């Protein structure tokens, strides 16, 4: 499918309902929550203030997840999300609490200790409704990650509520609060979530209700947001009265049509960029995205492209599939970088340990910011279910906030104050120059690529484990040229 025909010079919107997004709804307030220290704090406040409904949609859910870890672990931690939800269900009998996650085949998620049986046991014979969804093609997953509270607040991002997701923006090399239920510690990890209030949140409530019915649950009526102010205590407001595009991916399955709004939006954004394309993502294996970026890198006046990914996938399966499919695409972009405008980097702690990048963020100039569940892989084009939010810079203050968010992300990896990064960006004439100038310690390391192997060629050319559609998942397709 060709990129959405958007002129890079026209200033036209890239958000088009029915094409690059499902719909556009207003948000009275919105805030970027960088890393789960801030997300979980806002989530805890929102859950405790809920009056009518708490609806959680995820790839996985672990009731032992702590929302305010203190570095110690015990049998009765009051900040465990399962305990919080059970307490709320008893204290507020009219509160409708539902959790819907993907049912993985063959215990695929067992190695992560987040399989649904823990939640089943936790919520059995309680007023908290827990359900696992299997209404996707074999091999596909439900990957949307939402929490909707009272249809007036909604969290949309790249991370699930499970035990190995918490971290602070400092990404300390040693962090006692990154504690697991077995007293172990998990590695540094980066997540980003967008919190919205208002009609955009109500629309995400519709996404949940549609998914709940599709998973065999009863049809749910929208609760209607209660009166009053429920903005989480302590959460700042970065944006006010903005329009939010909601974009989705859904495979063609059981009579439901294919939805590829996120794919079209990605290609439209790349085509529309003028100065900077900033991408941070768990994966980078989508050849269509690489093709579009390579074309822009070949332009003399084209945009800078910064791709931030993990040095290595943390799981064995992802390493032998996604990492090996990523390598030839990065080689291709480095070869296409005729004007020195491309950087593919991975973040490290102060002691050189890798930081797991699990966020899914795109910032295009000062024009658009996107946050959600969709990876830059083939699956997110049309095989898994995905959901993301996009905000365009329609006013000067919104554009300034978009740029400030991007600069905050990059500077927090470099362990410098955002003001210092801004000065370096202005002085050097761009984001790439600022990264180069402020990175003597190598906190953002160039992504290291091993020499090509036969396995890399097989994985990359046949998209093993990473099909773009239902049809592709069922056949051994002809090898794709990797440029």
Closest CA to 113 of 62, 56, 165: 62
Grade residue 478 by pLDDT with cuts at 50, 70 and 90. Answer: very low
Tell whether 168 and 62 lie within a shared domain. Answer: yes
Tell whether 209 and 345 lie within a shared domain. Answer: no
Average pLDDT over residues 349-354: 96
Retrieve residue 145's tokens. 């990650």
214, 241, 268 — which closes off a domain? 241
Tell whether 210 and 222 lie within a shared domain. Answer: yes
Cα separations (Å) of 294 from 172, 280, 309, 483?
35, 17, 18, 10
Q: Per-residue pLDDT for 137 more than 90?
A: no
225, 241, 257 — which closes off a domain? 241
Q: Is residue 424 part of a domain?
A: yes
**Greater model confidence, 348 or 72:** 348
Say how many domains are in the chain.
Answer: 2
Q: Is residue 74 part of a domain?
A: yes
Q: Looking at residue 7, what is its pLDDT?
A: 33
Tell whether 248 and 227 lie within a shared domain. Answer: no
Q: Looking at residue 5, what is its pLDDT?
A: 34
Q: Per-residue pLDDT for 115 more than 80?
A: no
Q: Looking at residue 294, what is its pLDDT?
A: 98
Grade residue 109 by pLDDT with cuts at 50, 70 and 90. Answer: very low
Tell whether 206 and 267 lie within a shared domain. Answer: no
Tell whether 195 and 344 lie within a shared domain. Answer: no
Grade residue 459 by pLDDT with cuts at 50, 70 and 90. Answer: confident
Q: In this prediction, what percent of the chain has a pLDDT beyond 70?
A: 93
Q: Is residue 46 part of a domain?
A: yes
139: domain CATH number is 3.30.870.10
Q: Per-residue pLDDT for 480 more than 90?
A: no
Q: Mind listing the pLDDT tens digit for each residue in 248-269?
A: 999 998 888 999 999 999 999 9
**Residue 70, phi-psi category: left (phi > 0), alpha (psi -120 to 50), beta (remainder):** alpha
Alpha-carbon dihedral 441, 446, 451, 457, rounded to 10 degrees? 150
Q: Is residue 232 part of a domain?
A: yes
Tell whether 222 and 306 lie within a shared domain. Answer: no
Q: Looking at residue 225, what is its pLDDT?
A: 72
Look at residue 133 and give its three-state secondary structure: strand
Q: Looking at residue 453, what is its pLDDT?
A: 83
Q: In this prediction, what percent of the chain has a pLDDT beyond 90?
A: 76
Tell whether 80 and 223 lie within a shared domain. Answer: yes
Tell whether 68 and 101 lie within a shared domain. Answer: yes
Q: Mind listing the pLDDT tens digit for each residue in 267-317?
A: 999 999 999 999 999 999 999 999 999 999 999 999 999 999 999 888 877
Q: Is residue 15 part of a domain?
A: no
Average pLDDT over residues 443-462: 82
Q: Mind listing the pLDDT tens digit for each residue in 206-253?
A: 999 999 999 988 889 888 777 778 899 999 999 999 999 999 999 998
The lowest-confidence range among 105-114, 176-185, 366-375, 450-459 is 105-114
Q: Per-residue pLDDT for 110 more than 60?
A: no
Q: Per-residue pLDDT for 76 more than 90?
A: no
Tell whether 323 and 225 lie within a shared domain. Answer: no
pTM of this structure: 0.93
Q: Looking at residue 10, what is its pLDDT?
A: 39
Average pLDDT over residues 444-457: 85
Q: Is residue 16 part of a domain?
A: no
Q: Looking at residue 12, what is its pLDDT?
A: 59
Look at residue 91 and give its three-state secondary structure: helix
User: Residue 227: which residues within 8 A CB-CB, separation 6 or more?
Assistant: none
Q: Per-residue pLDDT for 47 more than 60?
A: yes
Euclidean distance between CA atoms 157 and 160, whole angstroms: 8
Grade residue 482 by pLDDT with cuts at 50, 70 and 90. Answer: very low
DSSP conformation class of 50: -
DSSP 94-130: T-EEEEEEE--GGGTTGGGT--THHHHHHHTTSSEEE
Q: Mind listing the pLDDT tens digit for each residue in 405-442?
A: 999 999 999 999 999 999 999 999 999 999 999 999 99
Q: Is residue 145 part of a domain?
A: yes
Look at residue 300 and give its three-state secondary structure: coil
Look at residue 162 and give its three-state secondary structure: coil
Tell whether 296 and 354 lie within a shared domain. Answer: yes
Q: Per-residue pLDDT for 479 more than 60?
A: no
| Domain range for 446 | 243-473
DSSP conformation class of 25: E
Say if residues 60 and 103 touch (Cβ distance below 8 Å).
no
Mean pLDDT of the chain: 90
241, 268, 294 — which closes off a domain? 241
Average pLDDT over residues 327-341: 96
Q: Looking at residue 9, what is its pLDDT?
A: 33
Q: Is residue 11 part of a domain?
A: no
Q: Per-residue pLDDT for 469 more than 90?
A: no
Tell whether 354 and 370 lie within a shared domain. Answer: yes
Q: Per-residue pLDDT for 113 more than 60?
A: no
Q: Mind listing the pLDDT tens digit for each residue in 2-15?
A: 333 333 333 558 99
């Amino acid at each position: 499918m060709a990129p959405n025909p958007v002129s890079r010079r026209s200033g036209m919107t890239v958000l088009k309902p029915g094409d690059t997004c499902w719909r556009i709804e207003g948000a009275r307030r919105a805030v970027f929550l960088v890393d789960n220290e801030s997300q979980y704090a806002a989530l805890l406040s929102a859950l405790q203030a809920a009056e009518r409904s708490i609806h959680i949609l995820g790839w996985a859910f672990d009731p032992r997840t702590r929302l305010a870890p203190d570095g110690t672990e015990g049998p009765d931690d009051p900040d465990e999300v399962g305990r919080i939800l059970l307490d709320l269900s008893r204290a507020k009998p009219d509160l409708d609490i539902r959790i819907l996650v993907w049912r993985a085949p063959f215990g695929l998620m067992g190695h992560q200790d987040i399989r649904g049986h823990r939640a089943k046991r936790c919520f059995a014979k309680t007023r908290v409704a827990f359900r696992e969804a299997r209404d996707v093609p074999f091999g596909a997953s439900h990957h949307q990650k939402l929490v909707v509270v009272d249809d007036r607040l909604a969290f949309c991002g790249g991370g699930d509520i499970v035990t190995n997701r918490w971290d602070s923006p400092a990404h300390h090399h040693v962090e006692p609060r990154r504690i697991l239920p077995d007293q172990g510690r998990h590695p540094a990890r980066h997540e980003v979530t967008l919190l919205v209030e208002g009609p955009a949140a109500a629309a995400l409530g519709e996404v949940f209700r549609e998914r709940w019915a599709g998973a065999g649950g009863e049809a749910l009526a929208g609760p209607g947001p209660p009166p009053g102010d429920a903005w989480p205590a302590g959460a700042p407001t970065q944006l006010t009265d903005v329009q939010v595009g909601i974009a989705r991916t859904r495979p063609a399955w059981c009579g439901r049509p294919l939805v590829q709004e996120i794919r079209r939006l990605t290609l439209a954004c790349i085509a529309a960029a003028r100065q900077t394309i900033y991408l941070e993502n768990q994966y980078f294996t989508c050849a269509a995205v690489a093709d579009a970026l390579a074309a822009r890198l070949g332009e003399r006046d084209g945009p800078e492209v910064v791709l931030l990914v993990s040095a290595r996938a943390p799981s064995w399966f992802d390493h032998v599939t996604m990492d090996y499919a990523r390598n030839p695409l990065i080689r291709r972009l480095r070869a296409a970088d005729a004007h020195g405008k491309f950087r593919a980097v991975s973040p490290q702690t102060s002691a050189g340990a890798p930081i797991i990048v699990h966020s899914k963020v795109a910032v295009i100039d000062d024009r658009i910011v996107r946050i959600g569940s969709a990876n830059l892989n083939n699956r997110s084009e049309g095989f898994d279910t995905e959901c993301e939010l996009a905000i365009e810079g329609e006013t000067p203050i919104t554009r300034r906030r978009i740029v400030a968010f991007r600069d905050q992300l990059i500077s927090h990896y470099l362990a410098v104050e955002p003001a210092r990064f801004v000065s370096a960006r202005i002085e050097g004439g761009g984001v790439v120059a600022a990264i180069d100038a402020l990175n003597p310690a190598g906190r953002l390391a160039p992504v290291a690529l091993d020499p090509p192997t036969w396995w890399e060629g097989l994985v990359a050319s046949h998209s093993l484990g990473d099909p773009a559609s239902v049809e592709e998942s069922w056949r051994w397709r002809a090898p794709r040229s990797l440029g």
